[in-house]
Amino acid sequence: MKYGIVMIVLFGIALANTGCLVSEDNSIPAPARLRLINTVPEQTYSLLGNDEALAANIPFDSVTPYGYAFPGFYNMSLVDTKSNKSILAKQLIQSDLRYSFYVIPDSASTAGNIKGFKLSLVNDTKRQQIKDTFYIRFLHFSPKQSSDATTPTQLFLKTYRERGTSNLFDSTIQNNFTRRSFNDISVRTQYASFEKLEEGNYKFGFFDGNDSSRQYETTKKYFSANKYYTLYLVGFKNGTGIHAWKVNIDSVNNTF
């Protein structure tokens, strides 16, 4: 899968109270790093901070590289470049942390009918690197469909590690990977954490959480050591074409 790349420019202006983050010896705090990921089909967005352009015209399925940002409070504005609609938020960017801003459909959106959009902010917390291991997490950004009634769109995931000709069921990440629902990281922040696994070939089976016999996708991949992987669900369960359910895989080196 190819990803469009658009560089985020350096945050040049912070609010006046940014100074409160500077230590008593007046040393310069370490910058934060952040990026923008667009998961809304057919939509393009720009991100502004304190009226400065941070990322411009980011299309669907694009992941920007990490850009640097001075720590402080920012008046963030996410703008739909087609309709010029925008959402505003005041966000604290902390020194030496890494952030992913995911643009996601709102809960009322359906395949072919995007009702609105919002930002889902994820803190990309690094973990201690251990030899021959990688880190992985799964994020769910597919709104429920009308056929789901009041039940959120859920996804059930089975994980297997391939050893020779056999597949071994891997239970290490089941607690954080099964029975997931739309944007559940907003209430269960532990889902944004990376889980550690041994490097190797893995097979992920993605199932409809309301009908576990209905499998939508199988992802088979070699996961390399010293990397952080994010698997994230986009699209709609009943969608077709660009609106169809799919699981993207984003990876960064442990030096991110």
pTM score of the predicted model = 0.84
Q: Which residue has the higher pLDDT, 208 or 199?
A: 199
Q: Calculate the alpha carbon distances from 21 to 50, 55, 70, 123, 178 in Å.
A: 18, 25, 10, 19, 39
End residue of a domain, out of 123, 151, 171: 123
User: For residue 11, what pLDDT is reported?
Assistant: 37
In a domain, 9, yes or no: no
Here the tokens at position 122 are 């994820």
End residue of a domain, out of 71, 105, 123: 123
Distance (Å, rounded) from C-alpha 34 to C-alpha 247?
22
Geometric angle at alpha carbon 26, from 23 and 32, rounded to 5°: 60
When computed from its CA atoms, the radius of gyration of the chain, rounded to whole angstroms, is 19
User: For residue 22, what pLDDT is reported?
Assistant: 36
Contact 105, 114 (CB under 8 A): yes
Contact 157, 177 (CB under 8 A): yes
User: 49-93 pLDDT, tens per residue?
Assistant: 888 888 899 999 999 999 998 999 999 999 999 888 899 888 999
Q: Residue 182 pLDDT more than 70?
A: yes
End residue of a domain, out of 123, 149, 183: 123
Contact 23, 81 (CB under 8 A): no
User: 14-36 pLDDT, tens per residue?
Assistant: 333 333 333 345 678 899 999 99
Q: Same domain, yes or no, for 22 and 100?
A: yes
Domain span including residue 118: 16-123
CA 129 to chain centre: 21
In a domain, 45, yes or no: yes
Q: Residue 9 pLDDT more than 50?
A: no
CATH for 164: 2.60.40
In a domain, 8, yes or no: no
Q: Where are the beta strands (DSSP E) in the chain?
A: 32-38, 45-49, 52-58, 67-69, 72-80, 86-93, 98-105, 117-123, 133-140, 154-163, 166-169, 180-181, 195-198, 200-208, 211-223, 227-234, 246-253
pLDDT tier for residue 118 given thresholds of 50, 70 and 90: very high
In a domain, 4, yes or no: no
Q: Residue 109 pLDDT more than 60?
A: yes
Report helix, strand or coil for 172.
coil
| Nearest alpha carbon to residue 235 among 20, 17, 43 | 43
Q: Same domain, yes or no, for 96 and 138?
A: no
Distance (Å, rounded) from C-alpha 211 to C-alpha 51?
46
Distance (Å, rounded) from C-alpha 211 to C-alpha 162?
26
Q: Same domain, yes or no, for 207 and 244?
A: yes
Q: How many domains does the chain have?
A: 2
Here the tokens at position 16 are 């006046």
User: What DSSP state is assigned to residue 175?
Assistant: H
Q: Same domain, yes or no, for 53 and 144?
A: no
| Mean pLDDT for the stretch of residues 193-204 | 88
User: 143-172 pLDDT, tens per residue?
Assistant: 876 555 555 566 666 777 776 666 666 666
Per DSSP, helices labelled H in the chain are: 174-177
